């Protein structure tokens, strides 16, 4: 390719991009009208639905999204696991009380 136009035509014909979509369902404060989920991935207005992927990152990160997405997902998963353990602990103590048994904390 000796001319600039031929080079330009070749580049345009062969260009490709690889995108990491983010920020399509952004998280934010309750006061943020553009936020779809809260800081723990809970979808506003829908009970028991959480999102834990790159779509909830509020701004496009300037780094690869893989590590950021893993961190967000692991943090939400840890919060959910902690909440589940707490809920199960309370449920079992209520069962003991209903059955007339004394609950002893471990």
- Which positions are catalytic? 20
State how far the Cα of 2 lies from the Cα of 55, in Å rounded to an integer: 44
Handedness of CA 34, 79, 105, 96 (dihedral sign): positive
Q: Are 37 and 27 in contact (CB under 8 A)?
A: yes
> Six-digit token pair at 90?
């309370």
Handedness of CA 35, 41, 44, 50 (dihedral sign): positive
Q: Are 21 and 54 in contact (CB under 8 A)?
A: yes
């Amino acid at each position: 390719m000796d001319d600039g136009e031929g080079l330009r035509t070749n580049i345009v014909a062969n260009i490709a991009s690889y995108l990491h979509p983010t920020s399509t369902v952004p998280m934010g404060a309750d006061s943020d009208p553009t936020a779809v989920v809260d800081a723990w991935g809970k979808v506003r207005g829908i009970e028991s639905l959480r999102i834990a992927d790159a779509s909830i990152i509020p701004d496009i990160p300037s780094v690869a999204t893989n590590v950021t997405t893993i961190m967000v997902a692991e943090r939400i998963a840890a919060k959910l696991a902690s909440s589940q353990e707490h809920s199960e602990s309370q449920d079992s103590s209520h069962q003991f009380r209903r059955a007339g048994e004394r609950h002893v904390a471990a």
